[in-house]
Structure 1
Amino acid sequence: MFDVLNTVWEEMVAEGGPFEIVNREIHGALQRDFKTAPPNLAAFWQATEAHGNRDYLVYENERITYAQAHQITRSIAQYLHQKGVKPGDRVAIAMRNYPEYMLIYWAIVSMGASVVGMNAWWVDDEMTYALNDATPVFAFMDKERLERFERIRSQFPDLQVVAVRVADADLGCASSYSEVLTADSVWPEASLDGDQDACIFYTSGTTGRPKGAQLTHRSCIANALNMVFMTGVQGEALRRIAGAQPSPPSPPPVALVATPLFHVTANNCVAYLATLAGGTLVHMYKWDVVEAMRLIEAEKVTALSAVPVMSREIILHPDFHKYDLSSLSTMGGGGAALQPDLVHKIDQEMSTARPNTGYGMTETSGIITSMGADFFVAKPASCGRAVPTLEAKCVNEKGEALAAGEVGELWVRGSNVIKGYLNRPDATADSITDGWLHTGDVAYLDEDGCIFLVDRAKDMVIRGGENVYCAEVENAVFSHDAVAECAVFAVPDERLGEEVGAAVYLRPGHAVGADELKTHVASQLAPFKVPRHVWFVSDPLPRNANGKFVKRTLQETLALADAQ
C-alpha cells in the first residue's frame, strides 16, 4: 500500500508534475518549494472571485457568496488605505469566528499589510502585551474584545479601532464596521513580496509570554498547496490500489469551522483549503457538540477537522444516531494527536466519513503531515509522511540525524516554515538552525518515511530517571470504553522526583474504578508508566482557546488527597 503511495508521490512532485518541487533560497537557506505556487496572497485570494455566486460564508441565517465577499474585501482594503494603512503595517483582528473575520483577513493580506491574530480569550494584560509587541496601527474588534480594550485604551492612544457587530450606542471611540463598507470597492495599489509577513500568530507556549510567529505569504500558500497535494496523492494511490477508473472531480467542500480563526488549524488549514476549492465555511458562535451535529446535517458539511476531543464528543454523544451525518467524507483532528482508538471508532461508527489527521504547528504555517482513510487505519499510531515542501529528520541531543526507528527530536525544513519570531531574534536562533525548525516533538520515522509522534519534548514525566511519554499513557487510558476525556501529567514525588498522574472524565452512564483502569493500562504498558494517581472529575477537562486540554490547570487545582 505505502509502496503505491510513494510511487504516486514521486510522480506528482517530479519535474513537469502537477506539484513540481524546486529548491529556492528562502531566509538564507536552500529550501523546498512548489515551482508554480501563486506569488502572494493577493493573487491567491483574487483568483477565487471566479467562484462567483457560490456560498462562501455561512453563519446562523447569514450567507455571503464569493462575489459578495470580494466586493466587501475590496472596500475594507480601500478604507484602510484611506486611513493611512500602508504595505508592511500591521492590523489586528480581535473577535470570535464571525464571517467578518475572514473578509477582514483577506483584505489586509491582499493590500500588503499583515494580520495580527489576537487570541479572543486573552484578558486585559495579555491583550496589552500583544499590542505592545506587534504594534498594529489599526484593529478590528467585536463587542467583548472592545470592552476589554476600553480598559487599556489609554496605553494605545493612536490605535484606530473599528467595531464589528457593535451597536452605535456602544461604539465609544471606535468607528462602525458599516462605515468601512461605504468605501469604494477598489483594490489599493500594492507591491507584495512572497517572503514578507502575512500574519503574526501567537504561539501558546507552556512557559513565559507567547511568541509572535511570522507567517509569510510564501509559507501560507505552501501550506495550502501541501494540503491539496496530500488529499490528491492519497486519493490517487487508493484508486490505483483498487484498480478503479478516475472519478469525476468532487463538489466543493463544506467545512465546519470548529476552532478559532486566530490559530493556524482553522485559518490556514480549514479556511484556506475550502477557499481555494470554492467551498463553504460554516461558522459557529462557539463549540457545542449538539449544534455541530445539527449544522452538519442542515448544511451538508463534508469535512470536520478540529481538535480530536471534538470528534470524540460527536462519536460518544447519546444523540449521535439521531442526526444525519452522512454528508461527512472526512472526520478527524489537528492541533493534537488523534489517538488510535479514535481512528478506529471513526472508521467503525461513521457510515461515510473516513478518519484523517493533520499534525502541524504555528511555526510551519499549518501542517507538517497529513494522513487519512486506509493509510491512517493501517498505521493509526502514525501521523503520516512530511508534506512535500518539508524535509524531516529526527536528531539526537547533538543535532545528529538518527536512523529509521530511532527516537529523537523531530526537525523539519521547507518553505512553509515561518520567518521567525517577531522581536525575538534569540528565540528564532534557538528554534531554527540553517532553516531547520526544532519542533520540540519527540518522534521517529519508519521505513516508509511515516512519522510517529512519541510526545512533546517538554511534556514528559521523568519517573526515577525513566521517561514516560504522556501521549502514550493517554492512548492506553482512552482505549477503555468508559473514558470520554483524559489528560496525563507529572505529579511531584519525593522518592522518584515525579509520578504519573491522570485526570479522567467518564462517558455519561459508564463507570470504571481506578484499580480497573490501572489494570487496563498495565495490560498495554510497562508498570512504571501506569498512572500512580487517578482523579475522576465530574466535569469535562479544562481547555484552551484551541480546544486542547490545559494540563497546568489540572496540576494546580487537583488535590493529591483526592486522587485514587
Structure 2
Amino acid sequence: MAEIQGPGGPLPFIPDDVTVPQFLLDSQHPSRPVVTNAGNVWLIEDSTGRKVGYEEIRARTHGLANALHLRWNIGENDVVCIFSPNHMDYPAMIWAIHRLGAIVTTANPAYTAEELVHQLRTTSAKLILVHPWNVDTALAAAQAVGIPPENIALVDPLPASASKGSGFITLPELVKQGSSQPTSFTERKLKPGEAKTKLAFLSFSSGTTGLPKAVSIPHYSLVANIVQVATFLNGDTSPPESRGFRPGDVVFAALPFYHAYGLAFIMHALLFYGYTLVVVPKFNFVDMLKSIERYRINFLPTVPPMFVLLCKHPDVPKYDLSSVRSILCGAAPLFGELMEQLSKKFPKIKIGQGFGMTESFTMVAMLALDQHVGTPNSAGVLLPGITARVVRADGSLAPHGEAGQFVFKSPALALGYYNNEKATKETFVDGWLYSGDEVTINEKGELFVLDRIKELLKVRGFQVAPAEIEGYLLEHPDVADACVVSILDDYHGDLPLAFIVPSASAQERIKQDPAEADAIKAKLIKYVADGKIYYKQLTAGVVFTDVIPKNPSGKMLRRLLRDRAREMWKNGQLSSGVKPKL
C-alpha cells in the first residue's frame, strides 16, 4: 500500500510566528468560519447558566497574566501547573500563562499526591493553580517537591468550612488586581519559525512503558491541529441545516480539559470553529441529559462509557435530546455493536468515532463528513495534512486491509518527550510518529484500530502503563513478581488485572491457611486503590500464578497472560465487580 494522504488538502497557511492566544484571540485565519451565535458566547457555566464571550475572556486573560507577572514574576519558559477540573477560567489560565512566554502543564484533578509529585518534579513547575477540591493534595505534593505554599493560588475561593488553605489568594482576586494595575509585561512577538520550537504545553502521556512522560508541545502543533480540524469541517458542502458540525452550535464540554481530547480538540479547535462550550466540572450522566435539554446542546464529544450509557440508561427517554445533531466518540476504540445500537435509538443523529494522540496534539482522524453513521469499528478518515503508513513488523508497507503499526506524519506532531531522549527516539523517527497501535486502513481510507502494539491499557479513555502498576505492586512484601494485563468491558474498555507470584512469606501463610489467599488478594487490591488514581486500580482483580512467563532475555510475555485472562473471563472464572455508573 502506498502512503495514504488525508483528504481535503492542501492545508491553508499555518502561521509559525504566533502563540496559541495570539492565534485564537488576536488574529484571523482563512479557515476560521464567521460565527453568528447570539452575542458571540464562548462559554456557558453549566451549573448557573452564566455566559462569557470573547471580550470578557480576553480581558480576564490579560488581567491574570499581569497578576502572575507582578506577584510571582512568571515569565519566559517558567512552568505553571493547572490542577483543576473543568472551569470557566480554564482557557484564561492557559492563555495568560502563554501571554507571558511561560509553559502550561495540566494535571489530572483526581491525582494522588504521589502522582502529582511526579508531574511537578518532571516539569520543574514554579506555580500551581489549584481548585479548592484538590487543595490538600496540592499542598502535600508541593511540600514534597519544594514549592512554597505562597506559590499556590486557588481557582475559586474555599468554602467557609474548609480547614486548610484559607490564606491563599484566589484567581478572581488575581484577575481584579492585574486588571487594576498598569501592564507589567511585554508580550513577545515570535520570530518566523519560532512557534515550531517554543513550548506551549508539557502534557502527560504514558508513551511506551513506565511512568507517564511529559510530551513537549510547541505552539505551532496546536495551531496546526486547529487548522487541520477547521479545514476538514469546512469541507462539508451539504446544506447548513443538515450538517453534523456547524459554527455557532453548542457543545457539551465535560471531557476533562487537562486531557488532550478536551484541551486541544474541545477547548481550542471547537472554540476556534465557533462553538459555544457548556463547561461541566464533574460528569454525571443524568445531569448531562438535563443540560442537553436546558441548553439545547447540538454536539456531544464522548468516550465509550458515556456512549454505553446513552444506549442503555433507563433515564434517556425522559429527556428531550432532539437538539443533538452529532455524537463523536474518542479516547478509546468503540465496539461497532454499540454504534449500531445508538444509531437505531437516535436515527437522526450523526454518530461516529475519531482518533487522536497527545503526541499528535491531538486529532488525526474523524468521522467522514458524508457519513451519517460511521463504518462499524472505524475511527474515521484521516484529517487534511496527515500522511499515513501501515508498517509490518519487518518494516515493509502493508497493503490495504492488512494489519500493521500505524505510522504517520502531521504538522501537529509534538517535539518528543521532555528530557527523555530514549523514549523520543523510539516514538519519533525521521519526522514520523510510531503510534504503537495496530491498525488496518481500507481502500476508502478508513482507519481501523485493532490493538495496541505498545503495552498501554485504555481504561475509560485514560492511558495506563502496566509497568507503573507492576512497579508499585512489587514494592509490597507479599509480591514476588507481577504482570498487569486486562480483560475487555464495553463500558470501561480495559479492566486491569494483576497476575501475582506471591512472595515466600505469603506462600507460607497461604499453605498454613488457604483462606489467607483471598485476604492477600483483597489487601493488594486495596493497596493499589489507596496509592493510585481510580482508573489505575485492579478493577478485574488479582490472580495468583506460579510464574510470570518471560522470554530468554527476561522480557515478560504479556500477551500469554492477557490471553489467559480473557479466556478465564469468557469462561466465567473471573468477576470484575465493576458496574456502569448509571
- Say yes or no: TM over 0.5: yes
* Structure 1: tracts of 5 or more residues without a match: 1-5, 21-33, 462-469, 479-483, 504-527, 543-564
Tell me how far apart the structure 2 counterparts of residues 117 and 163 of structure 1 sit (CA, whole Å).
15
2:52 corresponds to? 64
Superposition deviation, residue 278 in structure 1: 3.0
1:298 corresponds to? 294
Report the TM-score, using the length of structure 2 for normalisation.
0.73
Pair 1:167 & 2:153 matched: no
Task: Report how many aligned residue pairs link the two structures.
Answer: 472
Tell me how far apart the structure 2 counterparts of residues 70 and 273 of structure 1 sit (CA, whole Å).
17
2:146 corresponds to? 156
Pair 1:184 & 2:163 matched: no
Q: Give deviations 1:163-222, integer Å, cap 9, x for gaps.
A: 121339743563222321121375742233312111111114574211001111111112
Indicate the SS of the match to 1:377: coil
Equivalent position amino acid for 1:394 in 2 = V
Q: Is the 8 A contact 1:224 1:269 kept in 2?
A: yes
Equivalent position amino acid for 1:67 in 2 = E
Equivalent position amino acid for 1:194 in 2 = A
Tell me how far apart the structure 2 counterparts of residues 36 and 189 of structure 1 sit (CA, whole Å).
17
Pair 1:45 & 2:24 matched: yes
Pairing 1:97-112 to 2, within 5 Å after superposition: 97-112=86-101
- The 1:456/1:104 distance shift into structure 2, 3 A limit, reads same
Alignment RMSD, CA only?
3.5
* Structure 2: tracts of 5 or more residues without a match: 29-33, 458-484, 500-544, 550-558
1:552 corresponds to? none
- The 1:78/1:491 distance shift into structure 2, 3 A limit, reads closer
Stretch of structure 1 that moved more, 430-439 or 250-259: 250-259
Equivalent position amino acid for 2:174 in 1 = V
Q: Give deviations 1:244-295, integer Å, cap 9, x for gaps.
A: 9998994512111122111111111111133113321112231111001100
Q: Is the 8 A contact 1:442 1:455 kept in 2?
A: yes
Q: Give deviations 1:429-451, integer Å, cap 9, x for gaps.
A: 11111011110100122222222
Superposition deviation, residue 140 in structure 1: 0.7
Pairing 1:426-437 to 2, within 5 Å after superposition: 426-437=422-433
Superposition deviation, residue 377 in structure 1: 3.3
Tell me how far apart the structure 2 counterparts of residues 190 and 355 of structure 1 sit (CA, whole Å).
43
Q: Is the 8 A contact 1:45 1:110 kept in 2?
A: no
Q: Is the 8 A contact 1:81 1:188 kept in 2?
A: no
Tell me how far apart the structure 1 counterparts of residues 139 and 243 of structure 2 sit (CA, whole Å).
55
Q: Is the 8 A contact 2:255 2:302 kept in 1?
A: yes
Match of 1:141 among 130, 135, 144: 130
Equivalent position amino acid for 1:229 in 2 = T
Tell me how far apart the structure 2 counterparts of residues 245 and 281 of structure 1 sit (CA, whole Å).
20
Q: Give deviations 1:217-238, integer Å, cap 9, x for gaps.
A: 11111211222233233x23x6
Indicate the SS of the match to 2:354: strand
Q: Is the 8 A contact 1:265 1:306 kept in 2?
A: no
Superposition deviation, residue 375 in structure 1: 3.0
2:322 corresponds to? 326
Tell me how far apart the structure 1 counterparts of residues 58 and 389 of structure 2 sit (CA, whole Å).
41
- The 1:408/1:147 distance shift into structure 2, 3 A limit, reads same
1:498 corresponds to? 561
Tell me how far apart the structure 2 counterparts of residues 369 and 248 of structure 1 sit (CA, whole Å).
16
Percent of aligned positions with the same letter in both sequences? 22
Indicate the SS of the match to 1:221: helix
2:40 corresponds to? 54
- The 1:338/1:180 distance shift into structure 2, 3 A limit, reads same
- The 1:36/1:163 distance shift into structure 2, 3 A limit, reads closer
Q: Is the 8 A contact 2:244 2:350 kept in 1?
A: no
Tell me how far apart the structure 1 counterparts of residues 212 and 406 of structure 2 sit (CA, whole Å).
22
Stretch of structure 1 that moved more, 266-275 or 102-111: 102-111
Indicate the SS of the match to 2:67: helix
Superposition deviation, residue 44 in structure 1: 1.8
2:388 corresponds to? 392
1:561 corresponds to? none
- The 1:212/1:324 distance shift into structure 2, 3 A limit, reads same
Q: Give deviations 1:118-152, integer Å, cap 9, x for gaps.
A: 12111111111111110122221111322112224
Q: Is the 8 A contact 1:370 1:386 kept in 2?
A: yes
Equivalent position amino acid for 1:58 in 2 = I
Report the TM-score, using the length of structure 1 for normalisation.
0.75
Pair 1:540 & 2:579 matched: yes
Tell me how far apart the structure 2 counterparts of residues 501 and 276 of structure 1 sit (CA, whole Å).
47
Stretch of structure 1 that moved more, 452-461 or 341-350: 452-461
